[in-house]
A = this chain, B = another copy of it.
Amino acid sequence: MEHFVASAGDLSGSQSVDRALRLLALIGREPAGGLPLSDIVIESGLNKPTARRLLLALIRAGLVEQEALSRHYCLGEEAFVLGVLAARRHGLLELAMESLRRLSEITMDTSFLSIRRENYSVCLHREEGTYPVRTHALQTGQQHPLGVGAGSLAMLAVLPDGEIERIMAANEAVLLTQYPGFPPDEIRADLTLARQRGFSLNPGRLVASSWGVGIAFRYPDGRVAGALSLAAIDSRMVPARQVELARHLSTEAERMERLLAQMFVRKTSQGDGPQQRARPITKSRSA
């Protein structure tokens, strides 16, 4: 039995919970019809009995379901409910819907809300445009490494240089093996351009002729909250129109930041009672 030694000062337990939740995230990533056990075993690095046992626990909790005929594992109803409940605090999507609808209406193109998840970007919503030729490069729920796609690139571009390098390093293997259109150096070049222009541009790197522009927005404390982006075929993405679209995106990104600022005020001011100063959340053993 080869086991990972708890490297470094890692002073916390609950391995199996960690593993189970990693499986949950894994299953969440997969858009379509869930994952078969074999893929889960491969992608998680766990072995079959362990994966299966953890999956059964997730199934008992309703977070995962196993489809009867394909035997694939996919997200369960409880995950959906939990999300609705969590949306009371983290209602980014709801806040953004108005912006997305307006963007798609004005521009006739498809608009997206993406957020950052560690080194990845997740698409939370895709609002269809009315223009007859539409690209389907990005669907709700799809994840790509930061830098892959317009919104994703926009988020990466507003991070500090140090973090960008850390992320690029972490994603290098995936980029090289699974994203042939995105050699790391090209992403770095795109980043520089994005910073110069004030908006990101994906010139059809993911799907040929499917271009995108994006702009990130932040929480009041400076953390990246997400990105709004628009996608269209290349002929609708000449430089002049890029700028025009970026202007609309910018307006809506500002709106989002305004709303988030309001939310923050409400949240902190409704805290129970008079000002408390935050205690560090982990142990603070005296000398």
Binding site for B on A (CB under 8 A): 12-14, 16-18, 20-22, 24-25, 28-29, 31, 33, 53-54, 56-58, 60-61, 63, 66-71, 74-93, 115, 117, 122, 124-125, 140-141, 270-272, 276-279, 281
Judge whether A24 and B70 touch: CB under 8 Å: no
Q: Which residues of B contact A90 (CB under 8 A)?
A: 75-77, 79-80
Pairs across A and B, CB under 8 Å, 17 listed: A12-B53, A12-B60, A14-B54, A17-B20, A17-B54, A21-B61, A28-B85, A33-B270, A67-B271, A68-B279, A69-B271, A69-B278, A70-B271, A81-B124, A82-B83, A83-B84, A83-B87
Q: Which residues of B contact A271 (CB under 8 A)?
A: 33, 67, 69-70
Q: Which residues of B contact A54 (CB under 8 A)?
A: 14, 17
Q: Which residues of B contact A272 (CB under 8 A)?
A: 33, 70
* Number of copies of this kind of chain in the complex: 2
Tell me the complex Cα distance, A80–B113, Å: 14
- Given contacts A21-B61, A75-B86, A86-B76, A122 and B16 within 8 Å (CB-CB): no
Which partner residue on chain B sits nearest A125 by CB separation?
Answer: B84
Q: Which residues of B contact A141 (CB under 8 A)?
A: 84-85, 88
Q: How far is the CB of A57 from chain B (nearest CB, A)?
A: 4
Tell me the complex Cα distance, A54–B85, Å: 20
Q: How far is the CB of A183 from chain B (nearest CB, A)?
A: 29
Judge whether B85 and A75 touch: CB under 8 Å: yes
Tell me the complex Cα distance, A81–B16, Å: 22
- Given contacts A14-B54, A69-B278, A70-B271, A93 and B82 within 8 Å (CB-CB): no
Q: Which residues of B contact A18 (CB under 8 A)?
A: 57, 60-61
Residue from A87, A91, A140, A272 with most neighbouring chain B CB atoms (10 Å): A87
Judge whether A93 and B86 touch: CB under 8 Å: no
Judge whether B140 and A84 touch: CB under 8 Å: yes
Q: Which residues of B contact A122 (CB under 8 A)?
A: 81, 85
Which partner residue on chain B sits nearest A91 by CB separation?
Answer: B80
Judge whether B124 and A28 touch: CB under 8 Å: no
Q: Which residues of B contact A22 (CB under 8 A)?
A: 61
Given contacts A12-B57, A84-B124, 15 further A-B pairs with CB under 8 A are A12-B53, A14-B54, A17-B17, A17-B20, A18-B57, A20-B20, A28-B86, A69-B276, A75-B82, A76-B86, A80-B89, A80-B90, A83-B85, A84-B125, A88-B141
